[in-house]
Chain A
Amino acid sequence: MELAVEKTSIQDKVQKALGVNPQDAKLSLTFLVISFVAVFIGGFLGLFQGLNRAGLLELPAWFDYYQTLTMHGILFVLVFTTTFVVAYFYAGLSHTFGGLLPIVRKLGWTALFSMVIGVVMVASMVIAGEATVMYTFYPPMQASPWFYIGLVFLVLGIWIAAAGVFIQVGNWKKQNKGQRIPIFSYFATGVFVMLTFSSILVAVEVFALIFWAFGIKETINVIVSRTLFWGFGHTLVNIWYLSAASAWYVAIPKIIDGYRFSDSLTRLVVFLLVILNIPGGFHHQIIDPGITEGWKFVHVFMSLSIGFPSMMTAFAMFAVFEKTGRKKGGKGLLGWFKKLPWGDVRFLAPFIGMVAFIPGGAGGIAQTNNQLNQVVHNSLWVVGHFHLTVGVTVALTFFGVAYWLIPYLSKRQLTPQMNKLGIAQTIFWTLGMIFMSGAMHAVGLLGSPRRTSYSTYGDHATALGWEPYLIFLAIGGTFLIIGVVLMVYIAFNLMFLAPKGVTEFAIGEQDPNDAPSPMWLERWGLCIILLIAIVAMGYAMPLMEMINVPGSPPIRTW
C-alpha cells in the first residue's frame, strides 16, 4: 500500500516536471475550440428565442424561430457537451497515464474529423431550411437524408473516441494486472461505456431513417423511432451529469485542498449510474399512446432509481466540504462553510452547479411521476428543468473545469484578473438562469407550451396571462448572453493570451485513512452485463408491442 503511494507520487513528480504532452494538448485544445465556438453561436441563438417568446423580436423567414431552436439545441446538446467531454477525458487520461498511446491519439483526431464532418452536414441542412426538425428529429417529419447522414458521422465520432478510451485504459490494465484503475480513468470508462451503448440505439434509428428518407423504405415506425431516440437522449443527459460528477469527486477536492470522498463509494456511484441509466428514457414518453399504463409505472421506478446515486453524490460533496473546512480550522456547526475558497472561480462555479441540482433533481423526481408529468409534459416547465440541470449544473461545472483545464493544456495560468472575470461570469450566468428557468417553471405550470414561437392564440385570455412571465425569458436571456460572451472570451484568453506558466491537472488525492475499494467494482464486464440486462428488462416487452404499429410515409410541414 505504502509502496503504491510512493510510486504514484514519483509518477506525479515526473508528470509535473514534463507537463502536458504537447501532442495530446493540441488534440484536446482543438476539441475545446469547437466547444466554445458552439457556446458562442448557440448562446446568441438562445437569446433570439428568449426575445421572440417575450414578444420583442420577430425572427426573419430565412432563419425562423424553429430553425433557430433546432440549431440552439444541436449546438448545446450535441456539440458543446460532446466535444467538451472528449477534450476533458482525453486530457485527463493523457495526464493519468503519462501521455496517450499513439494509436489513441490517432483515434482522437479521427473522432474529431468525423464529428466535424457530421456537424457541418447537420448544420448546413438546418441553415438551408432542409431540416427544421429540432434536435430530436421525430419522424414522420422528414429532414433531408444528408441531415441523418451527418448524424451518422457524429455517432461514428463518438464510437471512435470511445474506442480510444477503452484501448488506453485496457492497455494500462493489462500492464497492471490485479490493480484498481486510477479514479479519473474509472469515470472515463463509465462515461464512454454509457455513450457507446446508448448511441447504438440512436444509430439503429438513424439507419432506418436514412433508408426511409431516400425512399428505399416506404414507411417508418414512429413510436419505435421515438423510443430508440430517448433511450439515447436521456442517457446523453446523464453522461454529461456523470462527467460533471467526475469533476466534483476528483478535481474539486484538489482545488479546495482536501481529500477525495471514499474511493469505494465513488466507484459504486459510477457503477450504479452506468447500469441504471438507459431505461430512464421512457419518462419522455409518459403520455404517449402505444405504451401500457403498467409499463409506464414500471418505468417510474427505472427513472427514479437514478435518484439514489445522486443522493449519494450530494452527501459525498458536502462531506468533502465539511471535512476540508474543518481541517482548515472551521469551528462549530457551520464554521467550515466559511473556510471554503469562495473567491476561487474553479470552486465557485461548480459549487453553484451542485446547488442547482437540488431544485433541478427535485423537479425531475416530481415530473417523472406519471400523473404529475401529465401536468407539465411539453410545457415550458420542462425547458426550465433542463436549463437548471444541464444549463447550470453541467454548464457551470464544465466552465469551472475550463478555468484549469485550458491553462493546463496551453501551459498558461489563470491570472487573478481572469479569476475575477470568471466570478462575474458565474454571477451573470446564475442570475440569468434563475430569471429564465424560474419563469419557465412557473409559466409551464400555467400551460405555456415549449418549442412554440410567440403566439397569443388569437388574443385568448389564457395565453395573454402568460405574457408577464415570458418577459423574464428576455431578461434572463440578456444576462446569459453577457455570461456567454465573458466565458468565450475567458476560454480564448486562457488558450492564447494568458501569461505562460504551469497549471496542474486537478486530481484529488485519496484520504490515507480510506479503505481500499472492493475488487468487484473493477469488473466492467459485470457492469456491462447488468446494463444490458436492465435495458432488456425495460425495453424488450414494450418494443414488442410497438413493432407492429402501422408506419408513416415522409412528411414535410415546414
Chain B
Amino acid sequence: MKIHRAEEIWLIIGVAIIVLSMVITGYQAFAQGFAPPSGMEPIDPQKVDETEPFDNPGVFEVGENEYEVVMTLQAFSFTPNEIEIPAGATVHFTMTSKDVIHGIQIPGTNMNAMVMPGHVQKITETFDEPGEYLVICNEYCGTGHQLMSTTITVK
C-alpha cells in the first residue's frame, strides 16, 4: 500500500488536530473541572416527591454567596421558578425529571444539561453579571414544550 508523501503530511495534520483537541478537552475536563454534567446518582422517577432532596425543592444558601437549587422539571414547568440570587453567586443545581426527558439551558451561559427521569443531574454555574436570565427547556417534551421556561434574576 503506497501512500503519497503529500498524503502522509496531510494525514499527520489530521491526526494532530484530533490529538490536540483530545488534549485540550481532557485538560479542561479533568484539570480545570469543566467536564460536562454527568450526574451518576439514580432515583426512582415514580417516587420523586417522596425522595430527598426533591421532597422539598427550593433555593438554599449553602455558603458565602453560594446556593443550592433543588429543582424538579415536569411538563411544562420548573420547580422552583423565578429564582432570585445576588450577583456573583455560585449556584449548584440538583435536578431530576418527574416525567419525560427534559433539558435545561440558560442562553448566554455555559449551563446546558439533560435532565432525565431516573437520574439526579448536577451542574454548577456562577452568575457574575446582574440581569434577568432566560431559562428554557431544550429537549422536546410535548405540546407545551415551547412554553417551558422561567427566569433567574441576578441582582
Contact = CB atoms under 8 A, between A and B. Distances in A.
B78 to A, nearest CB: 12
B58 to A, nearest CB: 21
Contacts of B139: 378, 451
A288 B25 contact: no
A557 B143 contact: yes
B105 A378 contact: yes
A-side interface size class? 35 or more
A557 B75 contact: yes
B11 A311 contact: yes
B55 to A, nearest CB: 17
B145 interface: yes
Contact of A287 (B29, B34, B36, B40): B36
B101 A222 contact: yes
A144 interface: no
A557 B39 contact: no
A557 B100 contact: yes
A305 B118 contact: no
B118 A301 contact: no
Contacts of A300: 21-22, 25-26
A66 B140 contact: yes
Interface string B28-47: 11100011111110111110
B-side interface size class? 35 or more
Contacts of A555: 99-100
Nearest to A305: B18
Contacts of A319: 4, 7
A222 B25 contact: no
B99 A140 contact: yes
A140 B114 CA distance: 14
A373 to B, nearest CB: 7
B113 A457 contact: no
Contact of A457 (B7, B25, B45, B134): B134
A109 B112 CA distance: 46
A555 B76 CA distance: 13
Interface in B5-26: 6-7, 10-11, 13-15, 17-18, 21-22, 24-26
Contacts of B117: 140, 222, 552
A223 B101 CA distance: 10
B105 A288 contact: no
Given A138-B101, A293-B38, A460-B151, A307 B17 contact: yes
A213 to B, nearest CB: 15
Contacts of A222: 101, 116-118
B24 A369 contact: yes
A-B pairs with lowest CB-CB distance, top 5: A447-B107, A557-B142, A289-B119, A311-B14, A455-B146
Interface of A: 64, 66, 132, 134, 138, 140-141, 221-223, 226, 262, 264-265, 268, 285-293, 296-297, 300-301, 304-305, 307-308, 311-312, 314-315, 319, 365, 369-375, 377-379, 446-455, 457-458, 460-463, 515, 517-518, 545, 548-553, 555, 557-558
7 contacts: A66-B145, A264-B1, A287-B112, A289-B39, A297-B26, A377-B112, A549-B119
